[in-house]
Structure 1
Amino acid sequence: MPNEMTNRRSALLAGAGLMGAGLLRPGPRGQAWAQAAAVGEGDIYGPDDPQARRGGVLTIAIANEPPNLDPFHQAGDARTAITVLMYQGLMFEHASGTAKPLLAESMTVSADGLTYTFVLRRGVRFHNGGQMTSADVKYSYDYVRNPANGSPGAADFGTISEVEAPDDHTVVIRLSEPNASLPMTLTNRFGCVVPRDTFSSPQARNRLSQQSVGTGPFMLQEFRPQSHIRMARFPNYWRQGQPYLDGVLFSVQPNAASVLVALRGRRVDLALLARPQDAEQLQGQAGLSIVSAPSLRQCSLDLDSSHAQLKDQRVRQAIALAIDKKAVMDAAIGGKGQVLGTVPAAMQESWGAPLESLPFQKQDPARAKALLAEAGLASGFSLDLIGIIGFEWMDPAAVTIAQQLAAVGIRLNIQRAELGVWLNAFRTRNMRFTFNDWGTQPDPHSLFYRHFRSPPRGADFRNWNNAEADRLMDLGMASADPARRKEAYLGLQRVMDETVPTILLFSPDLVTVSQQRVRNYVQHPTGWWFGLAKAWIAA
């Protein structure tokens, strides 16, 4: 097959327009509203393909290896991207922005929005052979929502007051206050279901990098750090006939260049390019297909509001005004993406505030200098900028940002940290001034709440502690009305723009490259590997 470049930007953005509608719609007073699994079930994990054949193993190149495969305690996207194939929640984060039933067959919401009743799918088995019941769901969600258990997702479940299991196939979740984003919370990032008592052993967390216990289409065979992650088809998967592949092998590559070499040499079948501009080097390569799409990823700078000079809002504003985001994107990814304001690219149309309405999103060095002078820093100062080893876009971005900040008197000392070290600083809210690279589920509550809401309801990783932002996030969470939700999140973005806890730089295009034999793989806008559940290999 000759090389082809397919751009699905317009199609995906059209689908993203559904995000504003959300899953939860208020019905007439006094009535509940239900979501049935039958509607759109066929496109869970991607489209069905009537020509699909069973067999074969696909090899996928990855440049960023997860520190471990624990779906409850490991927060990094490098983990989530892979464990979505092994673990599932009651719901699925569909690319349209709706949460669709997955391990649940249906969901019913009470008229007051405080009680969610789920009917579970029957015949679901765990990788250890056990059959899933409501007791497993209750155990899983009670575990993750208990802060003492140390899950980064605990705050996501903070509005849950009780999880009940009245019979083997029914789960009732009661809330202390309305939470329109609960269905999205019960998806794959931290909302997976595992067998009850999974964590009763002190060694349980370590074992999750050796043996999976989920319900997903693939089960873990081997995790060899700095080499590969091997998964096999789960023969008792509840979706009969799927997955089509016998297995998948994630091959860990040392850098982006080695990914290209592996693709050219046909040593790997599929890769999501860490540097989308690298697709240009593959143009004209026979047998390769290149697909580009907008993403829910954001490459950003985080500003710890408790760190050094960053405690002063004027300093954070000055940094924002000193940066030319387009120049950073050009240096980092060859311009193959979209400059951001306050939400990722695939959410801009539905949830994003217009960039022209956000005064700190445009470069203005003169005003940046004036703000630094007001803060008593007219002579400038030095600041460390932390990048993450293995995230190759950060190195050229750091050089460009250092040049831009030097022009207003801020001298950067560029440092690099291993991903595990960086994640520990993230969890302990010791972020300082750092690059970040993360995806989100297609919902504004999922994007903002855990990251920016003050404790104990959120984690506020950047030590922002902004009362008005807290109020707006609470309002957005509680509102079932899409218009009211959007107004709350637009207000939040205006607060974020003015107070600068983070600077979203750009969303890189999701560029997927595959060999000719790979069929029916569709890239999810999160960048996670959902599509392998329905991919197949042509003879």
Structure 2
Amino acid sequence: MTSSTQLPLSADEQEVIADLQRRSFFGISGALLAGGLLSGLPTGEANALTKALPNTEDGAQRGGTLEALVHPEPPTLAFFINTATPTRLVASKIFDGLLDYGPDLQPRGQLAERWQVAADGLSVTLNLRKNVFWHDGKPFTSEDVKFSAEQVWRKYAPTARRVFQNLTQVDTPDAHTVVLRLSKPTPVILNALDVVAAPVLPRHLYEGTDIPNNPHNNKPVGTGPFVFKEWSRGSHIALERFDKYWAPGLPYLDRLTFKVIPDVAGRATALETGAVHYGERNPVTFADADRLAKSNKLVVSTDGYNGFAATLWLIPNLRDPILGKLAVRQALVHAINRDALVRTVWGGYAAAATGPVSSQLKTFYTADTQQYPFDRKKAEALLEEAGYPKKADGWRFDLTHAFIPYGDDYRRTGEFVRQAFRAVGVNVDLKSQDLASWTKDVFADYKFQLVSSWGVNWQDPQLGLEQHYWSKAESKGTPWQNASGYASPEMDRLLEAAQVEPDIAKRAQIYQDVQRLVQKDLPLLHLFEFRWFGVWDKRLRNVTDTFNHSQSNFARVWFDAKA
């Protein structure tokens, strides 16, 4: 069976869906949480409503080298430990996941061609593809999944450690069947079997090794459509077509090269001149995006990010004696004119956030949360209340703000925030670092006061939200895991209830309560929601056939010479 996608439904199929919606069983909640119906259905019922997508398409043209941007340069390709977007952008072409997800957020088979959740929610059966090979020629089997689940998911992978906390046993009745056995229902699982959330590594290269320091981490051997060839630091990462890829005829491209171009103007020039064909996740300034959109050679589009609803926030170190005070955090939010930030720095490609869940994730979102409108007088009053009057030099206290080093927009956001805080008497030192140093300071050493960062909700808040607010998610040295040090018994209770709640309405209500508590406690200061855009050559096809530009495997991307 080849990978499948959802086709338009007939009247009969719509009636089947209506009937299934009236029934209550575990699998259906996982589907609704993903924003699409089919993602959680037991295999037989799901397959009745989907059809196979051919490996290749009529008119697709083989060959060519796609030159793509990666910014900033990945700190590592160990995507099972560091899930930074530049890392996942590259690794997702080298590795496949058990499942992938389409623009409709419904699952599509990659390494698993069929999947089934037991009626009681206590087991998930994965039927793996046959004739799948690792890039070194070794066959891919259920033992690779078992090893990854036991030694990687539960020990290193940030998302899987949380999602599979109730995993008690992994059975492999044969070389192409895996049964995940759970102590409690875990509705989110079918939304968390992608390449990054549940990474599958080659057992024969990792078993018995120091996994975080395995030499294959930065010379990866995967099962995906492209083979790693070289990484020239500061220049490029080169991949080549895998001729034994499990989908006959794919990938279409011969080569894929990720170019490292730190300068945003240089990235715009590379796209405009054709030196680069593809850039994802806001690769150029907004002014350049508007200009390039008028080109007859380029596409500028926000398509392809349906499952990548993200917000930018400030992370306060709650261990810090100043930022540990709620009144100070409330004051800092009041001091920022978020509408002006969106308009002047982000060119309108954003929207002021009301809390931790993006309004694009409609199943879970609520605007009924405590808000902190721009009000400098209120901010100053709160700072006075917190015990920080202005001193003789006009400043209340000093604060270091390290912006995430993902490019000029983030630096400019840092400058905007610095000016906002200075206007209420907080003297801010803006700190610029490379990504590796920034990551170490924030997530390994907790050596920071305030940083900017951002994160994605994914298809379900448990995947992208829980890691920042659950006290048990704190993991010193693991990027993007509760760096603030927030610990709230009430928040833990809510998040742990959501982990096992199969009823969609009840689960949505829990996450609405989570949003309200976040806005009350302010462990993170949410500023705005992103509206991502990509820029690519008009000759490229199938660029947006994904839930997330940043981890599409590009197996079906091709150049149309007739365009």
Q: Which residue of 2 aligns with 1:76?
A: 84
The 8 Å contact of residues 338 and 345 in structure 1, kept in 2 or not, is answered as no
Give matches, 1:37-436, under 5 Å: 40=50, 49-147=57-155, 153-199=160-206, 200-202=208-210, 205=213, 207-208=215-216, 210-272=218-280, 273-275=282-284, 277=286, 278-293=288-303, 295-343=308-356, 345=358, 347-354=360-367, 357-379=368-390, 380-428=396-444, 430=446, 431-436=448-453
Q: Which residue of 2 aligns with 1:511?
A: 533
Percent identity over paired residues:
27
SS at match of 1:158: coil
**In structure 1, how many angstroms separate the alpha carbons of the residues matched to 2:558 and 2:235?**
24
Give matches, 1:438-517, under 5 Å: 438-455=455-472, 459-517=481-539
Letter in 1 for 2:460: D
The 8 Å contact of residues 146 and 178 in structure 2, kept in 1 or not, is answered as yes
The 8 Å contact of residues 276 and 511 in structure 1, kept in 2 or not, is answered as no
SS at match of 1:506: strand
> Deviation of residue 38 (structure 1)?
7.7
Distance 1:103 1:21, change over 3 A: same
Alignment size in residue pairs: 514
The 8 Å contact of residues 318 and 371 in structure 1, kept in 2 or not, is answered as yes
Q: Cα deviations across residues 343-402 of structure 1 (Å, max 9, x unaligned)? A: 464734232111xx2222422333323322222123332211001334211221122112
**In structure 2, how many angstroms separate the alpha carbons of the residues matched to 1:34 and 1:454?**
39
Distance 1:18 1:134, change over 3 A: closer
Distance 1:144 1:506, change over 3 A: same
Q: 1:437 aligns with which of 438, 445, 454?
A: 454
Q: Cα deviations across residues 472-522 of structure 1 (Å, max 9, x unaligned)? A: 111222112211111111110001111111123223332222223322321
Distance 1:219 1:181, change over 3 A: same
The 8 Å contact of residues 96 and 553 in structure 2, kept in 1 or not, is answered as no
The 8 Å contact of residues 292 and 510 in structure 1, kept in 2 or not, is answered as yes
The 8 Å contact of residues 24 and 180 in structure 1, kept in 2 or not, is answered as no
SS at match of 2:238: strand
**In structure 2, how many angstroms separate the alpha carbons of the residues matched to 1:65 and 1:478?**
38
Distance 1:131 1:41, change over 3 A: farther
Letter in 1 for 2:527: L
TM-score (norm 1): 0.87
> Deviation of residue 280 (structure 1)?
1.8
**In structure 2, how many angstroms separate the alpha carbons of the residues matched to 1:35 and 1:242?**
28
Stretch deviating more after TM superposition (432-441 or 317-326) = 432-441
Q: Cα deviations across residues 28-80 of structure 1 (Å, max 9, x unaligned)? A: xxxx7767568557679xx9743211111110122211012112222311101
Letter in 1 for 2:327: R
Q: Cα deviations across residues 277-299 of structure 1 (Å, max 9, x unaligned)? A: 12123243332222234652332
Stretch deviating more after TM superposition (453-462 or 295-304) = 453-462
Relative contact order, higher structure (CA 8 A, sep 6+): 1
SS at match of 2:533: strand
Q: Cα deviations across residues 405-441 of structure 1 (Å, max 9, x unaligned)? A: 2233222111012111222234326153101134353
The 8 Å contact of residues 389 and 416 in structure 1, kept in 2 or not, is answered as yes
The 8 Å contact of residues 126 and 213 in structure 1, kept in 2 or not, is answered as yes
**In structure 2, how many angstroms separate the alpha carbons of the residues matched to 1:424 and 1:155?**
22
Unaligned residue ranges in structure 2 (runs of 5+): 1-30, 391-395, 476-480
Q: Cα deviations across residues 432-461 of structure 1 (Å, max 9, x unaligned)? A: 310113435322110112232112687422
TM-score (norm 2): 0.84
Unaligned residue ranges in structure 1 (runs of 5+): 1-15, 27-31
Letter in 2 for 1:105: E
